[in-house]
């Protein structure tokens, strides 16, 4: 039979340990933020609404599971994903959840279909049409995140500034908005507002982390 049951068991235990690290709402949220780039504990605590001590503990748990790396920069400790493959792991987890959990489907239907009728545009299509000059790509995340890395050629228009900067956009071109990922609602909101103003707008599938994970070029600064 499978000769040594010990190492098999140990492997199962390791897999379970990694899975358990993903097995908490707050840690999933932390990873979602960290998929954007490295962040300090304080920034993550603020973004998630967790106490510093609590955020720190969850981050250390993720680090112990091998999902995060930490480095010190001055008085801050910056965490980041240990590996770009972790985005893929989150993505597959999300797909599984979407397929299997009725409530997820319902949530998505409620918050996407009703607000954003059109299918999102795929990354490959987007690259093609952007090169042909057919689309204007806008990045609706906060400028801080834009600076850390964005789609080449994209214009930074944080959602708060969108209404004030409509005149910058070409009404003849199709506008494609993107933000942090499949479940970030920034881009959905942007599309809804743009359509209300008569623009032809769609959102890009997923968001920055998946773009990066797909090996597509990223511009920083």
Partner DNA sequence: TATACGTTCAAGTTATCGCTTGAATGATGT
Partner DNA sequence: ACATCATTCAAGCGATAACTTGAACGTATA
Binding region for a copy of itself (CB under 8 A): 1-4, 7-29, 32, 65-67, 82-83, 85-86, 88-90, 92-97, 99-104, 107, 110-111, 159, 183-186, 189
Q: Is 23 helix (H, G, I), strand (E, B) or coil?
A: coil
* Residue 34 or 90 with smaller CB distance to a copy of itself: 90
Structural contact between residues 140 and 178, judged by C-beta atoms closer than 8 angstroms:
yes
Q: Please name which of 39, 144, 19, 26 lies closest in space to residue 81, comparing C-alpha atoms.
A: 39
CB of 20 to a copy of itself, least distance (A): 3
Kindly list the catalytic residues. 179
CB atoms within 10 A of CB 79: 27
- Encoded tokens for 153: 């050629």
CB of 165 to a copy of itself, least distance (A): 17
Structural contact between residues 175 and 201, judged by C-beta atoms closer than 8 angstroms:
yes
Residue 29 interacts with which of DNA, a copy of itself, none, CB < 5 to 8 Å by class: a copy of itself
Q: Would you tell me which residues interact with DNA (CB under 7 A)?
A: 20, 23-24, 26, 40-42, 45, 50-54, 56-61, 70, 72, 74-77
* Residue 12 or 111 with smaller CB distance to DNA: 12
Structural contact between residues 178 and 207, judged by C-beta atoms closer than 8 angstroms:
yes
* Residue 88 or 156 with smaller CB distance to a copy of itself: 88
CB atoms within 10 A of CB 155: 16
Residue 127 interacts with which of a copy of itself, DNA, none, CB < 5 to 8 Å by class: none
Residue 51 interacts with which of a copy of itself, DNA, none, CB < 5 to 8 Å by class: DNA
Residue 57 interacts with which of a copy of itself, DNA, none, CB < 5 to 8 Å by class: DNA
Q: Is 68 helix (H, G, I), strand (E, B) or coil?
A: strand
* Residue 26 or 123 with smaller CB distance to a copy of itself: 26
* Residue 3 or 72 with smaller CB distance to DNA: 72
- How many angstroms separate the CA atoms of 18 and 36, rounded? 21
The DSSP letter of residue 145 is H
Residue 219 interacts with which of a copy of itself, DNA, none, CB < 5 to 8 Å by class: none
CB of 171 to a copy of itself, least distance (A): 25
Any idea which residue has 């240990």 for tokens? 82
Q: How far is CA 106 from the centre of its chain?
A: 21
Q: Is 151 helix (H, G, I), strand (E, B) or coil?
A: coil
């Amino acid at each position: 039979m499978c000769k040594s049951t010990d190492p098999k068991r140990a492997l199962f235990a390791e897999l379970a340990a990694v899975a358990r690290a993903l097995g908490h709402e707050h840690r999933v949220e932390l990873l979602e933020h960290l998929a954007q780039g490295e962040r300090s504990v304080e920034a993550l605590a603020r973004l998630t609404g967790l106490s510093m001590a609590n955020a720190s503990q969850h981050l250390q748990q993720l680090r112990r599971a091998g999902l995060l790396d930490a480095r010190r920069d001055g008085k801050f400790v910056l965490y980041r994903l240990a590996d770009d493959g972790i985005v893929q792991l989150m993505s597959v987890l999300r797909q599984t959840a979407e397929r299997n959990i009725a409530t997820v489907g319902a949530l998505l239907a409620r918050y996407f279909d009703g607000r954003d009728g059109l299918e999102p545009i795929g990354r490959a299509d987007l690259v093609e049409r952007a090169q042909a000059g057919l689309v204007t790509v806008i990045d609706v995340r906060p400028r801080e995140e834009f600076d850390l890395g964005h789609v080449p050629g994209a214009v930074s228009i944080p959602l708060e500034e969108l209404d004030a900067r409509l005149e910058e956009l070409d009404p003849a071109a199709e506008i494609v908005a993107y933000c942090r990922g499949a479940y970030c609602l920034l881009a959905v909101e942007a599309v809804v507002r743009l359509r209300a103003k008569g623009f032809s707008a769609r959102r890009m599938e997923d968001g920055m982390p998946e773009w990066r994970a797909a090996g597509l070029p990223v511009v920083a600064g």
